[in-house]
Amino acid sequence: MSKHQYAMVMDLNKCIGCQTCTLACKKQWTDGDGMDYMYWNNVETHPGAGYPRDWHRIGGGFDAQRFLRPSSLPPLEDYGAALEYDYGQRLYGGSNKPVMPHRLPDYGPNWEEDVGGWDTNNPYYFYLPRICNHCTHPACLEACPRKAIYKRQEDGIVLIDQDRCRGYRYCIKACPYKKIYFNEVTGKSEKCIFCYPRLEKGRVNACAAQCPGRIRFVGLLDDPDSPVHKLVLKYKVALGLFPDKGTHPNVYYVPPFNPPKEGFAGRSLLEDPRLPLAYLKYLFGPKVVGVIEFLHAELVKVQSGGGSEVLQLLIGRDEGVRYRIVPRQVREAAPGEVGRRTSDAPAGPALTLMGTPGKAAPEVAGHAAAGASNCHGCALSAHCRA
Amino acid sequence: MRGLALALIIIGIVALSPPARAVDESGALPLPVKSVDAATVTPLLDPDAPAWSDAPESLLRFNRTPPLYVGDATDDGHRPEVRMRALRLPDGSLVLCARWSDATKTTSGRGVRYPDAGDPHIYPIHTENTGAFPDAFCAMVPKRRGPQSPYPSMMMGEKADPVELYYWRAGVGLELLAAHGRASTAPGGTAQPFAARYHDGGWTLIVVLPSLTPKTPLCFAVWDGERQQRDGLKYFSLWYEAQ
C-alpha cells in the first residue's frame, strides 16, 4: 500500500470519443520504435470488443481466493497492426499510385467505433477511455517473476523497471485490463506511467490536459481537497472498472446516465434506461445502480431549481476544479498538506499546487486564456478564444 | 524385543552404508572433452570444422521444470534430444557445440520498418509479434571455477555461490549474465563469440566458455519458444563435469 495514491476520474457522460487524449499520449510517450501498435491511452466504443480484442472477456486479475487468473497472450492481430503509408514514393518518388496503407487493416483500436449495441428501435453506445489503472493490488506486479514492476510509495503509480524487465509477459497475461504492451524492439514490456514526469513538475497528465470534453479529474485520492477524493470517496459517484477482478483500480468512471429512451414523460433513467443496466453492471459492478439513482436524484434537484455540488463539480469548469496536483517535493516540504483541507492550512509560503485557484499550470491555463499562440488546436480552441 | 531388533537393523544399515559423498563425488555426469591446439577460436565456430569431427559426443539428459504459474503448460512428456561436443583450447577455454532437436524455429523478432526503404526519421520500427518467445539455450557455470568449485543452487546459484550464464536466444544472440539466486540475473560482462544455425529440425549452437578448467561443473537449459517457454519454464539438465 502506497503512502499516497494518484487517481483519475473520467466522466463518461462527457466523452465524445474524439481521441485527442489518445493522440496526446501517443505523441508524448509512444512514438518510438516498437511502440507503433500500443496506445497507453485508448478510447473504445462500448458495448464492444475493445482494444485489444475481447480484453474484458479473456481473463486476468485475481479469483475469489486471491490467486492470479492469467489470460492468454493477445496476438498483434487483436491489437491491430499500425499502418504506414509510403508518402515518400507518392510525394517525391514519382509514383502515381494512391497512398495506401502497407497492409489491409482488419482490426484496430476502436475498430467498432459507434457500433455499440441494439435493442428495438434503440441503438446505444458510449465511449470508454482507458489507461493503466495503477491498481492498489496490481496483478501485473504479483505476476512478474523478475520483480521488475513496482508501485511507487510516494504516489501509488505503477511502473516497470526497464532494466529488470526481460519481456516474459506474465504481466500482460495477469493484467485484467490488458494495459501492458510488449515492445519487440527492446524486448521489454511497457505501459502508461501516469505522466509521472509531468506530475513531478506540477503539470497534469497529457491525456487530461488535452481533453476537449474536460472529462478527466486528477488528484490524490487521500487529499480531501482533490476532485477525485470528492467524486470517489465523498459523493461515491465514480466506480472502478471490473471491481470483481480484485486489483482495486485507481482510475474511476462516472457511469453514463443517459436520458430515458422514451424521453422525459415522467419516466426515470432507471425505469427506461437507454443503456442496459445489465451492461453497466457488467463493467462497473452492482454499485452502478446506486450511482445512477443518486445522480438522477441530483439531476431532478437541479431541474427543480435546486443546487447540486456534485453536478457542479462534474461540469469541471476549469482546471482548478478538475485537477489538484501536489508534486512530491511540495508534499515533502509540507507533509501535512495532503490530508488537510485547504481551509485548515496554516499561513505560510504558498505551495505550488496545480488546481489551486489562481495557480494553474501555464500549459493548461494557456488553453483557456492565452489564445491562439498557446492553443493546442483541439475542437474547443474557438470556444476558448471566444 | 521387537524394538531392540528394529534398532539393531537400523544400526546395521547405518554401519554398512557408504561414507557421505565428497564434494568431488557429487554425482555430476562426465562431459568428455577433446583438447585441441587451436590458436584462435574463430575456425571452431563452424560445426563442420575438422576439429569437431572426432570430438566425443554426449547425449545429455534433460528434464522439464514443473509449471511455475497458474496457466503454465504441464509437462507433456516431450524432451529435446541434446547432443554435446566440447573442445578445450590451450588457454583453458571450453568451446561447446550443442545440437538439439526443435521441430519449429521460433525467433525473437526485432521489428520491421515500413516501407522497407522508409526514412528512419519518419517511419518507426513496428512490433510484428507480441506473443512469440524465442528458442533459447543456456550454459550455467559457477563463478568460482576448478575442481574445488561448489555446486551452486540450480535455481541460478545463490549469494555465497554466484553463477555465470551464457544465455543465447534465437534472433537476439548471446548474453553473458551473472546471477546469485532466482530473479537475480543481471548483465555479467562481455559476451563471447558464438555461432548458431537452424537446420534439419534442430539448432546447432557453438559457444565459448572462458577459463573452464577440468572438473568445473556446468549445466544446461533449453527453451522451446513454440511451447511458450521462457523464464523458469524450460528443459534443464543436472550438473555435468567437463573432463
The per-residue pLDDT for range A251-293, each reduced to its tens digit, is 999 999 877 777 655 666 777 888 889 999 999 999 999 999 9
Candidate from B118, B119, B127 with C-beta closest to A185: B127
Please report the pLDDT score of residue A271 as a whole number.
79
**Which of A109-123, A157-171, B62-76, B109-123 has the least mean pLDDT?**
B109-123
Residue A90 has phi, psi (to 5 degrees) of -70, -40
Please report the pLDDT score of residue B176 as a whole number.
95
Candidate from B70, B123, B126 with C-beta closest to A68: B70
Domain encompassing residue B195: 21-242
Higher pLDDT, B102 or B16: B102
The ipTM, to two decimals, is 0.85
User: Does some domain include residue B7?
Assistant: no
- Give the C-alpha separation, A84 to A103, whole Å: 8
Q: How far is B63 from chain A (nearest CA, A)?
A: 21
Residue identified by cell 457500433 is A115
**Which of A118-127, A351-360, B52-61 has the least mean pLDDT?**
A351-360
**Sign of the dihedral through C-alpha A355, A358, A359, A363:** positive
Residues from chain B contacting residue A139 (CB–CB below 8 Å)? none
Instruction: Quickly state the pLDDT bin for A376 (edges 50, 70, 90).
Output: very low
- CA nearest neighbour of B222 among B208, B238, B240, B234: B234
- Total domains in chain B come to 1
Higher pLDDT, B29 or B138: B138
Q: How far is B174 from chain A (nearest CA, A)?
A: 14
- CA nearest neighbour of A81 among A99, A100, A98, A104: A104
- CA nearest neighbour of B108 among B4, B1, B223, B192: B223
Q: How far is B134 from chain A (nearest CA, A)?
A: 11
User: Does some domain include residue B4?
Assistant: no
User: Does some domain include residue B205?
Assistant: yes
Q: How far is A139 from chain B (nearest CA, A)?
A: 13
Residue A375 has pLDDT above 60, yes or no: no
User: Does some domain include residue B12?
Assistant: no
Residue A170 has phi, psi (to 5 degrees) of -65, -30
- Give the C-alpha separation, A366 to B54, whole Å: 77
Q: Do A170 and B185 touch (CB under 8 A)?
A: no
User: Does some domain include residue B57?
Assistant: yes
Please report the pLDDT score of residue B70 as a whole number.
79
> In this structure, what CATH number is given to the domain that contains residue B120?
2.60.40.1190
Q: Do B128 and A76 touch (CB under 8 A)?
A: yes
- Give the C-alpha separation, B139 to A292, whole Å: 61
Higher pLDDT, A43 or A373: A43
| B interface test, pick of A95, A104, A161, A185 with most B CB neighbours within 10 Å | A185
Q: Would you call B59 an interface residue with chain A, using a CB distance cutoff of 8 Å?
A: no
Q: Would you call A146 an interface residue with chain B, using a CB distance cutoff of 8 Å?
A: yes
Residue B17 has pLDDT above 60, yes or no: no
**Which of A53-67, A104-118, A331-345 has the least mean pLDDT?**
A331-345
DSSP β-ladder status, B29-31 and B240-242:
parallel
Q: What integer is the mean pLDDT of A181-195?
A: 97
Q: Which three cell numbers stand for residue B178?
A: 551473472
Max Cα-Cα span within chain A: 70
Read off the pLDDT of residues B42-54 as tens digits, 9 standing for 90 and up: 999 999 999 999 9
**Which of A4-13, A100-109, A165-174, A197-206 has the least mean pLDDT?**
A100-109
- CA nearest neighbour of A192 among A62, A25, A71, A362: A25
User: Does some domain include residue B159?
Assistant: yes
Residue A337 has pLDDT above 70, yes or no: no
Domain range A6-82+108-319, its CATH number among 3.40.50.920, 3.90.1300.10, 2.120.10.70, 3.30.70.20: 3.30.70.20
Please report the pLDDT score of residue A246 as a whole number.
97
